[in-house]
Amino acid sequence: MYLKELSELNGVSGNESKVRDFILKKIKEKVDKYWIDKMGNLIVFKKGNGKGKVVLDAHMDEVGFMITKINDDGTFSFMPVGGVDPRVVIGKKVLINDRISAVIGFKAIHLQKEDYLKTPKFSDLKIDAGFKSKEEASKNVSVGDYVSFTTKYKQIGNFATGKAFDDRGGCSILLDLILNDVKSDYDLYFAFVVQEETGLRGAAVVSEQIKPDFAIALECTTAGDNPELGKEHWATHLGDGPALTFLHSGYVIDRKLFEALVSTAKENNIPFQYKRRTAGGTDAARYARSVYGVPAAVVSIPSRYIHSPLSVINLDDYHNTYKLVKIFLEKSPITK
């Protein structure tokens, strides 16, 4: 498992090179072929017995920010890259261009009147790196520079906390499958893709190159089992196993694939759960909407506080997600 190393790398959408380089270094001696396409996707090929072509997809990018303006007082205006709630970023440490430490600031509580009752907009927030003027700040930072969270990975009992589990969790599972030399009758294409968080862009390019018979997106998905929410609002629950999606935004999951994954879990006594809310989307929708109409499924690790500076997963869920996908590939139940 490489979740620690992967999650601590910074790779906001469009800037995934460090994540890609780490993965490539680990796998290049273990596979039949690999290449990096013009979009920046890393595609890794492992030959099977010709039963079909299968894409296993995980996106390398994470949500973050980009500098949009250098202000007269030396602070920076910024905007999110991907879906980030401004309420979860106030007061958080960030890193500009992987080298300049800063903090996301908002008006102090004792200077507010009714502001504290409102959700701030990103235009209300500023990034403060300690520069005293626009001139000083401009010597170190440029408009368009990337900004990442700085959270370090930590294990606490059977739980792990850190940033970017969406989707370094999926990337780590693909690495585990490759490095543990998973055997399959399928020809396997492990696609470590870019820019999922900004429109499922990388997966579209993969589909065009490979024209697979089907695809499986390995994801990290929202849990929703927060203390303040009733069970009727839960999407998934930490500790109940990998989440199998039957429907999400923009796509009804291929029924044949969905039922094959459910059967694999049941036959092998692997705990699993259904993702019970349909909000959000994954690369599965992009494969399905490609010109080839690729059938696709989603297997996810549940995570609390997703798309925030710190997420939480249950490590049993991680290992059971790996086990489910590995056995599915070994059994190769779907024909062309």
List the catalytic residue out of 62, 196, 197, 219: 196
In this structure, are residues 94 and 127 in contact, taking their beta carbons and an 8 Å threshold?
A: yes
Alpha carbon distance 19, 41 (integer Å): 11
Contacts 24+ apart (CB under 8 A), 30-37: 30/178, 30/179, 30/181, 31/178, 31/190, 37/205, 37/206, 37/209
For the range 134-138, what are the long-range contacts, defined as Cβ-Cβ under 8 Å and sequence gap of 24 or more? 134/70, 134/71, 134/72, 134/73, 134/74, 136/74, 137/70, 137/71, 137/74, 137/75, 137/76, 138/70
Q: Distance between CA 251 and CA 286 in Å, rounded?
A: 9
Chain centroid to CA 53: how far? Answer: 23
* Burial (CB count <10 Å: 0-12, 13-18, 19+), residue 231: exposed
Residue 322, number of CB atoms within 10 A of its CB: 22
8 A C-beta contact, residue 196 and residue 167: yes
Locate 87 and state its tokens.
Answer: 């309420």
* Residue with token string 């044949």: 256
Closest CA to 216 of 199, 202, 203: 203
196 is catalytic: yes
DSSP for 244-287 reads E-SEETTEEPPHHHHHHHHHHHHHTT---EE-----S--HHHHH
- CA dist., res. 124 & res. 105, Å (int): 9
Residues annotated as part of the active site: 196
